């Protein structure tokens, strides 16, 4: 009897291969809507151009600063790209906490704080006199107009600073630095963390053309043919597109697979109705989904003798990191007991194993949904290039990817994209180093086009001379 009732709760989270295929097909349509000239402004999956037109070719080099804002912490880095060693080295870095109040305060406060952290870093590393180019990883959906002009569309992941949405984030950063007036920065390149991740892996493995994050939030970017990006002029070459797949489902197209718990998590979030896909997958929400399931099961007298503790009854107190601890193959059950005790619950052995099952079910769903979305991207790249078989590399980062078993995700992608052979490369410090890499590639391209112009110029002179003769 008990087992069946447990099953009843978990079944809506268990997505069959057919359902995943259907999810992947829906995303395929949404990618097209996002890329279309007339459909993009209403598209839930925004498919944002990044102005990154090339992945590294291995000749980049130099010293850079990088800022990384978008997860739980803000980081400043000094990065060196070494051509000889084909390595991106993190010389130094510093973490600055962003207090909760600041995440919900004014934009000016936030950017002043960022400028202060950067100033302190430059000061303590003796870099204040130099004017280094800066890569700014800003992991929120932005309408990018240039590599250094990027308008925040909306905040996600618990941030909600006033006066930033609709504004150019690079400008806000420069203004904050200007207000201080004690140091300068060189050219700025803005990147999403997915792009940073792809680019930092791309230095090591030049077939890396997808970047994926499964952390506090979730998202991916990939190299698309420019001719398919209808908002951008040009027919030749590729551009990296920031899909913002977290917004998949915002038009209701995933309603049939949402559980009552997903609906509840969305309703109580600070951004109801948006980033529906992200809320089923990413670290900011997984713990809360588990908590809501456990509460309901307890009310139904399936767990903890029907007694909900104060902690279990409190929003946000079942942390996502508990899930990976409870899922651990060897020590999982022991961890579960410890966590349940800390949450003030009167548990039995059966309770502990049911909790494990709940955690496993919800983290598996997250992995499978990501797999479905990733399959859509690799299948698209394969079709774009009219290849029977595609071999490609995905740069990945994020705590949810790192801390949870990845075999499920990988197996599911193989099933959903059988003609693609995918290598997963976990990026170390990708979003920081990658921003530097983007800056480095942009410099290389600018340098190359200057050389081209110069040699064009020479040709012209010759022609003129010829005409004159």
Q: Judged by CB, which is closer to ligand BGC: 190, or 441?
A: 190
Q: Which stretch binds ligand BGC (CB under 6 A): 191-199, 406-414, 432-440, 456-464?
A: 191-199
Write each residue from 137 to 156 as x if it is in contact with ligand BGC (CB under 6 A), else as -, in one continuous string.
Answer: --xxx--------------x
H-assigned helices in 54-125: 100-103, 107-124
Question: Per CB under 6 A, which of residues 230..269 are in contact with ligand BGC?
Answer: 244, 246
Nearest alpha-carbon partner for 103 in 62, 64, 160: 160
Question: Per CB under 6 A, which of residues 419..458 are in contact with ligand BGC?
Answer: none
Give the list of residues 6+ apart from residue 293 with CB closer than 8 angstroms, or none.
9, 10, 261, 358, 362
Q: Of 30, 193, 262, 429, which lies in the binding site for ligand BGC, with binding defined by CB under 6 A?
A: 193
Long-range contact set of residues 166-173: C-beta below 8 Å, sequence gap at least 24: 167/107, 169/136, 169/138, 169/142, 170/136, 172/107, 172/111, 173/67, 173/111, 173/114, 173/115, 173/136
Q: Of 44, 56, 217, 434, which lies in the binding site for ligand BGC, with binding defined by CB under 6 A?
A: 217
Q: Judged by CB, which is closer to ligand BGC: 80, or 154?
A: 154
Q: Of 194, 320, 399, 439, which lies in the binding site for ligand BGC, with binding defined by CB under 6 A?
A: 194
Q: State both tokens at 172.
A: 């806000």
Residue 385 in contact with residue 209, Cβ under 8 Å? no
Q: State both tokens at 270.
A: 């600070």
193 is catalytic: yes
Q: Judged by CB, which is closer to ligand BGC: 49, or 141?
A: 141
Which residue has tokens 């202060």?
A: 116
Binding status of residue 280 toward ligand BGC by CB under 6 A: no
Q: Of 192, 243, 393, 443, which lies in the binding site for ligand BGC, with binding defined by CB under 6 A?
A: 192
Q: State both tokens at 467.
A: 């005409």
Binding status of residue 213 toward ligand BGC by CB under 6 A: yes
Give the list of residues 6+ apart from residue 156 with CB closer than 8 angstroms, or none.
140, 141, 217, 246, 271, 274, 275, 278
Task: Classify residue 220 by its DSSP letter.
Answer: E
Cα–Cα distance between 220 and 224 in angstroms, integer? 12
Q: Judged by CB, which is closer to ligand BGC: 161, or 352?
A: 161
One of 193, 250, 262, 397 is an active-site residue; which one?
193
Q: Which stretch binds ligand BGC (CB under 6 A): 117-125, 162-170, 217-225, 433-441?
A: 217-225
Residue 134 in contact with residue 75, Cβ under 8 Å? no
**Closest separation between CB of residue 140 and ligand BGC, Å?**
5
Binding status of residue 279 toward ligand BGC by CB under 6 A: no
Burial class (CB in 10 A: 0-12, 13-18, 19+), 393: buried
408 is catalytic: no
**Closest separation between CB of residue 313 and ligand BGC, Å?**
27
Q: Which stretch binds ligand BGC (CB under 6 A): 110-118, 213-221, 340-348, 360-368?
A: 213-221
One of 68, 148, 157, 408 is an active-site residue; which one?
157
Q: Of 55, 150, 219, 324, which lies in the binding site for ligand BGC, with binding defined by CB under 6 A?
A: 219
How many residues touch ligand BGC (CB under 6 A)?
A: 17
Pairing of strands 134-138, 142-146: unpaired
Q: Judged by CB, which is closer to ligand BGC: 43, or 326?
A: 43
Cα torsion 312, 313, 314, 316: sign? positive
Q: Which residues here bind ligand BGC, judged by CB under 6 A?
A: 70, 139-141, 156-157, 192-194, 213, 215, 217-219, 244, 246, 278
Catalogue the active-site residues.
157, 193
């Amino acid at each position: 009897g008990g087992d069946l009732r447990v099953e009843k709760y978990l079944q809506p989270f268990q997505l069959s291969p057919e359902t995943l295929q259907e999810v992947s097909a829906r995303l395929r349509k949404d990618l097209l809507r996002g890329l279309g000239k007339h459909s993009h402004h209403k598209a839930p999956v925004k498919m944002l151009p990044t102005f990154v037109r090339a992945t590294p070719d291995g000749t980049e080099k130099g010293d850079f600063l990088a800022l990384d804002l978008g997860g739980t912490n803000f980081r400043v880095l000094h990065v060196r790209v070494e051509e000889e060693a084909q390595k991106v080295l993190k010389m130094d870095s510093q973490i600055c906490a962003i207090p909760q109040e600041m995440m919900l305060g004014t934009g000016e406060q936030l950017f002043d704080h960022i400028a202060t952290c950067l100033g302190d870093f430059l000061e303590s590393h003796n870099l204040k006199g130099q004017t280094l180019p800066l890569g700014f990883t800003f992991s929120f959906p932005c309408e990018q107009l240039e590599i250094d002009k990027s308008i925040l569309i909306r905040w996600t992941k618990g941030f909600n600073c006033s006066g930033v949405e609709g504004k150019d984030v690079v400008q806000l950063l420069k203004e904050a630095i200007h207000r201080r007036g004690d140091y300068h920065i060189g050219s700025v390149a803005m990147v999403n963390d997915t792009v940073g991740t792809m680019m930092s892996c791309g230095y090591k493995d030049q077939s890396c053309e997808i970047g994926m994050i499964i952390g506090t939030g979730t998202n991916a970017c990939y190299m698309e043919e420019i001719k398919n990006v209808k908002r951008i002029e040009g027919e030749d070459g590729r551009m990296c597109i920031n899909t913002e797949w977290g917004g998949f489902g915002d038009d209701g197209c995933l309603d049939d697979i949402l559980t009552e718990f997903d609906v509840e998590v969305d309703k109580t979030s600070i951004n109801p109705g948006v980033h529906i896909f992200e809320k089923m997958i990413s670290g900011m929400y997984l713990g809360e989904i588990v908590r809501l399931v456990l509460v309901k099961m307890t009310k139904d007298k399936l767990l903890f003798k029907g007694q909900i503790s104060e902690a279990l009854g409190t929003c946000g107190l079942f942390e996502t990191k508990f899930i990976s601890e409870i899922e651990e193959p060897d020590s999982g059950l022991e961890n579960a007991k410890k966590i349940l005790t800390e949450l003030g619950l009167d548990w039995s052995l059966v309770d502990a194993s049911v909790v494990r099952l709940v955690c496993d079910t919800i983290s598996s769903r997250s992995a499978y949904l990501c797999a479905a979305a990733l399959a859509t991207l690799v299948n698209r790249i394969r079709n774009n290039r009219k290849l029977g078989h595609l071999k490609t590399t995905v740069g990945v980062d994020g705590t949810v990817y790192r801390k949870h078993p990845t075999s499920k995700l990988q197996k599911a992608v193989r099933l959903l994209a059988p003609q693609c052979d995918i290598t997963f490369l976990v990026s170390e410090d990708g979003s920081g180093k990658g921003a530097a890499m983007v800056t480095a590639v942009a410099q290389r391209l600018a340098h190359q086009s200057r050389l081209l112009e110069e040699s064009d110029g020479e040709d012209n002179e010759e022609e003129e001379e010829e005409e004159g003769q």
